[in-house]
Amino acid sequence: MSSLPSYASPLQRTWHYTFRVICGLIFFFLVFPILVIIPLSFNAQDFFTFTPEMLALDSAGYSTKHYVDFFTNPDWQKALQNSFMIAPTATLLATVLGTLAAIGLSQPHVPFRSVIMAILISPMIVPLIIAAAGMYFFYSRIGLQGTYWGVVMAHAVLGTPFVIITVTATLVGFDNSLVRAAASMGAGPITTFFKVQMPLILPGVVSGALFAFITSFDEVVVVLFLGSASQKTLPWQMFIGLREQISPTILAVASIMVVLSVVLLTVLELLRRRSERLRGVTPA
Amino acid sequence: MRQSLKDLREAVANKTHTRLGTRLNYEQSGFSSLMRKSGRAVEKIESPDVKGQLIAADSAWGDPVIWQTLKLYSGTTTKGYFLSAVDARQSIDGVEMLPEGERVYLMLFGRTLMMSLAITLLCALIGYPVAFLLAQLPMRTSNMLMILVLLPFWTSLLVRTSAWKVLLQQQGVINDLLVWIGLLGDDTRLVMMNNATGTIIAMTHILLPFMILPLYSVMKTISPSYMRAARSLGANDWTAFWRVYFPQSVPGIGAGAVLVFILAIGYYITPELVGGTSGIFISNRIAYHISSSLNWGLAAALGALLLVAVLILFYVYDKVVGIDNVKLG
């Protein structure tokens, strides 16, 4: 399939190229909506579509005013600040808890392993609206609703399953005799963990942490319910903006976030390669 | 009768009678104003003619339905919310369905299921060729193309939803393009947003990576020699694919489909922003009852039903794929 043999019939040839065109269209469908907002965010008008000036590539049709608005408008700046206050703390919590859970669950003697696993993974599967509603009722009773720590804890809960999954995956390739070797040479469990196990499972931990970060950074449903105005995050501000007063500043924010996700994607790809190198698997 | 008066006085003293009115109003309209009115009048009522004075305060007290409803909901627990969630209600004659025109939630559950199915089907149809191509190409090329799948996967949900809002609007990019080409007149612009079409297009795009990635990982394990063997035994391309390759890729379709369906059924943000009124899901109704109408009991009942559906699917997913085998990226 990857390359046509020289004896291919005309029909096979036609299908071969038709199939590629179809796939090309699907890739276009996947990427076009994301890429189209980048040029649109430089629109000099407050429209959500290409103006004739923009199509004529006239420099008068383009401006950075939406970006200027994002960086000077106090609402957006507060939201950005809140996002960067909440996401790292939630990520830290999720990473520590998730890594510990994954290591614990990888031990063969843990009873009810699959049940515990299912419960810990469930925040990823349960519809967000249900998780948000449940947390809202529960957190209001214990006074966490509308507080910074309430939002952080809720986001940590949502991020933990990703850390558990990625760390569990790296632990599959982890050789447990290394731990025994370290112990036999007199290292305590804590030293063994930080000096032997941690460096080897680090790629899994970091990619889990990235997932947890993006979960918190991108999360809007839970924060809508649990947060008060002083925890308004970037996605919240975008959600309000999209629902009520549509302002083109959203496109500028969206473009910045696309660039951010490209950076994240690159980091993850580099991590994956490093992990494969460490395990001695050479990419084909 | 005296006991009722005593209870009502106590409720007024604790200022809970308006809440009682709001709650009973869900079951029988008229209770809210009845409670407010009677609350003001209750201090002046004296025995012996409690009944007459109650009716004088609000004529609704003379209606037996009011008393029957009171009796029906006097217990400490109720299945009223769950009945409302499936468009039924408790009446004096037992459980009955609401009249045809008032059945909102069953319709909404049905729509959520149908639209999630449509999205899952579309994802499978669109995702299969791409996963197939990625699995056939040499590693270097497929890694490059994989970035095109992973970029949307990693992009913020709100960014993708706003992109679709920009594209699908009546004054948006797609309509402008079609008008510019001449396929559409300026007055016949397509309505692709604030309806079910908008929700389906946007959600298919958003959930497509969740179909492609599990499909790809299953297809990677299918050895190409099976197809070659089939062809050497005289099968043509189509037969070799359909009889040999496709059955082996079915577990991937299953894994992807259950995942996409589970995610779709509980979606909130995208239907809320591009769905209008005809494209919203049950989640949007739950959110509405929590934050706007404050009917928390009904929200909880609707949520519980949705949760049960998802947990059943989760169980199926665990049996088909195994949670331990969930992979990310």
pLDDT in tens, B299-312: 888 999 999 998 88
* Domain contains B293: yes
Domain count, chain B: 2
Average pLDDT over residues B40-46: 74
Substitution target in B108, B136, B154 with the highest count of A β-carbons within 10 Å is B154
| DSSP secondary structure of B121-134 | HHHHHHHHHHHHHH
Same domain, B138 and B14: no
Note whether A37 and A251 are within 8 A (CB): yes
CB contacts, 8 Å: B266 with chain A: 126-130
| A148-199 per-position pLDDT tens digit | 999 999 999 999 999 998 898 888 878 888 888 998 998 888 898 888 888 8
Instruction: Examine the domain organization and report whether B62 and B109 are in the same domain.
Output: no
To the nearest whole Å, the CA of B303 is away from the closest chain A CA by: 6
* Mean pLDDT of the B34-62 span: 75
- Closest A-chain CA to B173: A49
Closest approach of B164 to chain A, Cα-based (Å): 7
Helix (H, G, I), strand (E, B) or coil at A255: helix
Q: Nearest CB to A235: which of B145, B158, B328?
A: B158
pLDDT digit string, tens, across residues B254-265:
888 988 998 899
Q: What's the CATH number of domain A74-247, 3.20.20.370, 1.10.760.10, 1.25.40.10, 1.10.3720.10?
A: 1.10.3720.10
Residue of B nearest to A35 (CA): B163
Query: What pLDDT, on the 0 to 100 scale, is given for residue A284?
Result: 36
Euclidean distance between CA atoms A122 and B315, whole angstroms: 11
ipTM, two decimals, is: 0.83
A114, A129, A238: residue with CB nearest B286: A129
Minimal C-alpha gap between B19 and chain A (Å): 18
In this structure, what are the phi and psi dihedrals at residue A22, rounded to the nearest 5 degrees? -60, -50
| A38: contact with B, CB 8 A cutoff | no
> For residues A169 and A174, what is the distance between their CA atoms, to the nearest angstrom?
9
Our CA-based measurement puts residue A194 at a distance from the nearest CA of chain B, in whole angstroms, of 25
> Could you tell me if B92 and B170 are in contact, meaning their C-beta atoms sit under 8 angstroms apart?
no
Task: Say if residue B64 is in the same domain as residue B116.
Answer: no
Residues of chain B with C-beta less than 8 angstroms from the C-beta of A141: none
- The answer to whether position B256 is within a domain reads yes
Confidence of residue B47 (pLDDT cuts 50, 70, 90): low
In a domain, B264, yes or no: yes
Residue B210 and residue B262 in one domain: yes
User: Do the beta carbons of residue B252 and residue B215 sit within 8 Å?
Assistant: yes
pLDDT at residue B26, as a whole number: 76
Mean per-residue pLDDT over chain B, rounded? 84
Distance (Å, rounded) from C-alpha A3 to C-alpha A278?
A: 33
Interface test with A, best of B142, B181, B328 (most A CBs within 10 A): B328
Task: Say if B308 falls within a structural domain.
Answer: yes
Burial of B204 (0-12, 13-18, 19+ CB in 10 A): buried
Q: Is A17 on the interface with B (CB under 8 A)?
A: no
Tell me, what's the pLDDT at A30?
A: 94
Q: Higher pLDDT residue, B96 or A283?
A: B96
Q: B68 and B171: one domain?
A: no
Residues of A with Cβ-Cβ distance to B165 under 8 angstroms: 48, 242
Question: What is the arithmetic mean of pLDDT over B186-194?
Answer: 82
| Residue of chain B with shortest Cα separation from A106 | B324
Q: Residues for chain A: how many in total?
A: 284
pLDDT bracket for residue B328 (50, 70, 90): low
Nearest-Cα distance to chain A for B157, in Å, is: 7
Residue type, B42: V
Read off the tokens for B12.
Answer: 């007024």
Which residues of chain A form beta strands (DSSP E)? none
Instruction: Compute the nearest-CA separation of B268 from chain A (Å).
Output: 7
Task: Tell me: pLDDT of B327 over 60.
Answer: no
- Whether B32 is covered by a domain: the verdict is yes
Query: Are both B319 and B222 inside the same structural domain?
Result: yes
Q: Are residues B239 and B318 in the same domain?
A: yes
pLDDT at B308: 92
Return the number of CB contacts < 8 Å for A and B: 185
pLDDT reading at B323 higher than 70: no
Residue B283 lies in a domain: yes
- Would you give per-residue pLDDT tens digits along chain A (284 residues)? 456 777 878 888 898 899 999 999 999 999 999 988 888 888 887 777 777 777 777 777 788 888 998 899 898 999 999 999 999 999 999 999 999 999 999 888 888 888 888 889 888 888 999 999 899 989 999 999 889 999 999 999 999 999 998 898 888 878 888 888 998 998 888 898 888 888 888 888 988 998 899 889 989 999 998 988 888 999 999 898 888 766 788 889 999 989 988 888 888 788 777 777 766 654 43
DSSP B99: P
Query: At residue B25, what is the residue type?
Result: N
Residues of B in contact with A133 (CB under 8 A): 286-287, 290, 299-300, 303
**CB-CB contact of B161 with B274 (8 Å):** yes
A22 → chain B, closest CA residue: B129
Which of 63-102 (A) contact B at CB < 8 A? none
- pLDDT at position B84 is 80
Q: What is the mean pLDDT of residues B68-92?
A: 76
B91 within a domain of the structure (yes/no): no
Residue A119 identity: I
Closest CA to A168 of A96, A105, A91, A111: A105
* Per-residue confidence (pLDDT) for residue A49, from 0 to 100: 75
Query: Would you kindly state where each structural domain of chain A is located, as residue ranges?
Result: 10-61, 74-247
Q: Which domain holds residue B262?
A: 105-325
Interchain pair B283, A129: CB under 8 A: yes
Cα-to-chain-centroid distance, residue A50? 30
Residues B150 and B275 in one domain: yes
The percent of residues in chain B predicted with pLDDT above 70, rounded, is: 95
Distant-in-sequence, close-in-space partners of A204: CB < 8 Å, separation ≥ 6: A166, A167, A168, A169, A170, A171, A275
Instruction: State residue A283's pLDDT score.
Output: 43
3-class DSSP assignment, residue B93: coil
Q: What pLDDT score was predicted for residue B103?
A: 80
- How far is residue A270's CA from residue A267's CA, in Å, rounded to a whole number? 5
- CA A118 to chain B, closest CA, distance in angstroms equals 7
Type of residue found at B219: M
Task: Please tell me whether residue B90 adopts helix, strand or coil conformation.
Answer: strand
State whether B148 and B273 are in the same domain: yes
Residue A232 to residue A36: CA distance in whole angstroms: 27
Cβ of A267 under 8 Å from any chain B Cβ?
no
Q: CB–CB of A133 and B156 under 8 A?
A: no
Q: How far is CA B74 from CA B7, B20, B77, B87, B306, in A?
A: 12, 11, 9, 21, 28
| Beta carbons of A69 and A219 less than 8 angstroms apart | no
Q: Identify whether residues B129 and B210 lie together within a single domain.
A: yes
Q: Which residues of B touch A31 (CB under 8 A)?
A: 148, 151-152
Q: Find which of A3, A130, A218, A262 to mutate to test the B interface (most B CBs within 10 Å of its CB).
A: A130
Separation CA A101–CA A202 (nearest Å): 15
Are A130 and B149 inside 8 Å of each other by CB? no
Indicate if B70 and B114 belong to the same structural domain. Answer: no
Which of B109, B128, B156 is the mutation pick for testing A, counting most A CBs within 10 A? B156
B294 to chain A, minimum CA–CA distance in Å? 12
Instruction: Find where tokens 């760390």 sit.
Output: A167
